[in-house]
Amino acid sequence: MSAHRIHHLPVVDDAKLVGMVSERDLRDLGADLRVRDVMTEHPYQVLGATALDEVVEKMSAEAHGSAIVISATGGIEGIFTMVDACRALADVLHQAS
């Protein structure tokens, strides 16, 4: 994860999202633990068409570091992180100035 600068990974079982594991979660992973022991169950999920302001408001209000972006059929399309939110804010601020 470090080599590829990946900080969050979805956890799937039979192509169904069952949780998310972060780089921080894995630091706590001992030799006898499994990913399911440290993952966050029921991670924050959004449809790709969800308004950005709605997503970042909920992420901020509920202290979510990321949101898993899913399709209408439940497939994983990507992960939206706080870094992505900051980039979007920076773009808005640059356009406003």
Of the pLDDT bands very low, low, confident and very high (cuts 50, 70, 90), residue 86 is very high
Give the predicted TM-score (pTM) of the model.
0.82
Q: Which domains does the chain possess?
A: 8-96 (3.10.580.10)
**Above 90 in pLDDT, residue 29?**
no
The alpha carbon of 56 is separated from its chain's Cα centroid by a whole number of angstroms, namely 12
What value, to the nearest 5°, has the Cα angle with vertex 36 and ends 39 and 10?
A: 55
Query: For 20-24, 55-59, 60-64, which range has the lowest pLDDT when averaged over its residues?
Result: 20-24
Q: Residue 34's pLDDT is what?
A: 83
To the nearest 10 degrees (0 to 180), the angle between helices 52-61 and 82-96 is 130
Backbone angles phi, psi at 14, to 5 degrees: 55, 45
pLDDT average, residue stretch 21-48: 85
